[in-house]
Amino acid sequence: MLKYVIKGPTKGVNSSISIEGAKNCCLPLLASTVLFEDTVTLTNVNLSNDVLLTCKLLEDLGSKVEISEKNKSIKVINKKKHKLIINYKYTSRMRAVVLFLGALLSKYPKNSIQAGKPGGCSLGYRGIDFHLEGFKRLNANHTLKDGYVKISAKNGLIGNTYKFPKVSVTGTANLILSAVFAKNITTLKNISIEPEVTSLIDFLNNSAKFRFIKFKGKRTIQIKGIKKLIKGSYKVIGDRINAFSYLCVGAITRGKVKVNNINPKHLKKELEILKKIGCEIKNDNFSISINAKKKLKPTNITTGPWPSLATDNMPILMAVLATIDGKSTIKETIFSNRYMAAPELSRMGASINIKNNKATIIGVKNLFGANCICSDLRSTFAIILGAIAAKGVSKIARVYHGSRGYYQLPKKLKKLGINIKSIT
């Protein structure tokens, strides 16, 4: 199995890289392609493993998929009726394919759609109860048999109002997808306004004859069901989590990194935090530069739905804080088990104390290379950051978690001047 070997410490990197499109934007867009009669072209895609797996599912369902690595594009061509079963082999590997439940229900409401119910996850409890409750409001009923959710709307989908009990990114996207062709008007309240969700709204609006999805408040939208979607194209937004990850290579090495192909507005809170800890940040409309040459200061942070600090960026920041003199604290408000990088960073000598959803970090002068194991996508990058700062060699196992979202990760790190090797 693939491992990364990192020799550290690397100090004062001074380089630039370009970021791929956002994985979490590609996934709902790919699910939405089943709504279309003909071809959808996505550009600036992130050809990470989660996106490739979603393309495989699309092919399984009956769409033709053309991937161009050179052009960073995916073309999805729909000519025939889709299969209506999302096999557990997909939902067990990637929860986001549950988005196909909403999309297929929307396109084939009176048929029975089946999807393997996603199970446990390394980040903690992650239900799909909001998704199913929302579908029910639109007149679709489900049953659970042999681990599969079976859903249909015998009399068609009919618009209604649904208020999410808690902001949910995939829940919002799924409900939007399901309501596209529903009769009358659907109102969704307390929705996620993550840039990846507003991208999906923009894409659907741009592909229809008129803007049928409208904001009626900060977290409320109204969807006026339409008849058809024929063709579409969309340039995926830059990956804000990956961009932040590489900016933190600048922070942890106390160096300079310029990240291209990213909209700085999508990282407003994160950039505020980097400035607060003493990094110099410069940006234009498409790039962000960090200069972390001055002495950095500890801080206190709390995650939350966008525009707050993204929970995905928390473990990455935690690795940086572990190297800053003084006491920092973190409060995680989204997932119950998001500190999986902490014990691995502690193996390198970091001082991180976790109590419930809070972490207290006392910055140390030096980290030391160690063998570590990754257990989820973002903790992989946090562990890599620790290894970059650590004296000596770190061997990092189960890095396949990282390949789910980071495209060409070792290549990008090498470009930044990191001593990293892939071994099997």
**Which is nearest to 143 in space by CA: 159, 132, 131?**
132
Alpha carbon separation from 268 to 56, 94, 186, 244, 338 (Å, rounded): 34, 28, 31, 11, 22
| Nearer Cβ to ligand EPU (330/377) | 377
Q: CA-based Rg of the chain, rounded to a whole angstrom? A: 22
Beta bridge partners, 23, equal none
- Using the rule CB under 6 A, which residue among 72, 95, 269, 347 binds ligand EPU? 95
- β-strand pairing of 39-43 with 73-77: antiparallel
Examine residue 72 and tell whether it contacts ligand EPU (CB under 6 A): no
Alpha carbon separation from 205 to 20, 171, 180, 201 (Å, rounded): 24, 19, 10, 6
Q: What does the per-residue mask of binding to ligand EPU show for 351-370, with x meaning CB under 6 A? A: --------------------
| Nearer Cβ to ligand EPU (200/296) | 200
Examine residue 54 and tell whether it contacts ligand EPU (CB under 6 A): no
- Using the rule CB under 6 A, which residue among 12, 64, 119, 127 binds ligand EPU? 127
**Which is nearest to 170 in space by CA: 305, 271, 40?**
305
Examine residue 287 and tell whether it contacts ligand EPU (CB under 6 A): no
Taking the complex as a whole, how short is the minimal distance between the CB of residue 228 and ligand EPU, in angstroms?
27
Examine residue 125 and tell whether it contacts ligand EPU (CB under 6 A): yes
- Using the rule CB under 6 A, which residue among 378, 381, 387, 396 binds ligand EPU? 378
Q: What does the per-residue mask of binding to ligand EPU show for 146-175, with x meaning CB under 6 A? A: --------------------x-xxxx----
Question: CB neighbours (10 Å) of residue 291?
Answer: 17
Taking the complex as a whole, how short is the minimal distance between the CB of residue 173 and ligand EPU, in angstroms?
8
Alpha helices by DSSP H, listed for 62-121, are 88-91, 99-107
Taking the complex as a whole, how short is the minimal distance between the CB of residue 384 and ligand EPU, in angstroms?
15
Task: Residue count of the chain, please give it.
Answer: 424
In the range 390-419, which residues lie near ligand EPU by CB under 6 A? 405
Taking the complex as a whole, how short is the minimal distance between the CB of residue 196 and ligand EPU, in angstroms?
6
- Using the rule CB under 6 A, which residue among 4, 100, 130, 246 binds ligand EPU? 130
Q: Which of 55, 121, 279, 374 is catalytic?
A: 121
Helix 23-32 and helix 195-207, axial crossing angle in degrees, nearest 10: 30
| Nearer Cβ to ligand EPU (273/367) | 273
| Nearer Cβ to ligand EPU (51/296) | 51
How far apart are the C-alpha atoms of 53 and 139, rounded to whole Å? 30
Q: Which stretch binds ligand EPU (CB under 6 A): 6-14, 129-137, 213-221, 262-270?
A: 129-137
Output the six-digit token pair for 123. 């980040």
Examine residue 57 and tell whether it contacts ligand EPU (CB under 6 A): no
How far apart are the C-alpha atoms of 255 and 272, rounded to whole Å? 18
**Which is nearest to 194 in space by CA: 106, 74, 303, 33?**
303
Examine residue 90 and tell whether it contacts ligand EPU (CB under 6 A): no
Contact between residue 249 and residue 290 where contact means Cβ atoms under 8 Å apart: no
Examine residue 189 and tell whether it contacts ligand EPU (CB under 6 A): no
Q: What does the per-residue mask of binding to ligand EPU show for 4-43, with x meaning CB under 6 A? A: --------------------x--x----------------
- Tokens 């900016």 label which residue? 247
Let me know if 121 is a catalytic residue.
yes
| Nearer Cβ to ligand EPU (24/114) | 24
Contact between residue 90 and residue 58 where contact means Cβ atoms under 8 Å apart: no
Helix 314-321 and helix 377-389, axial crossing angle in degrees, nearest 10: 20
Angle at 225 between CA 219 and CA 229, to 5 degrees: 110
Interface ranges with ligand EPU (CB under 6 A): 24, 27, 95-96, 125-131, 166, 168-171, 310-312, 334-335, 377-378, 405
Which residues are known to be catalytic? 121
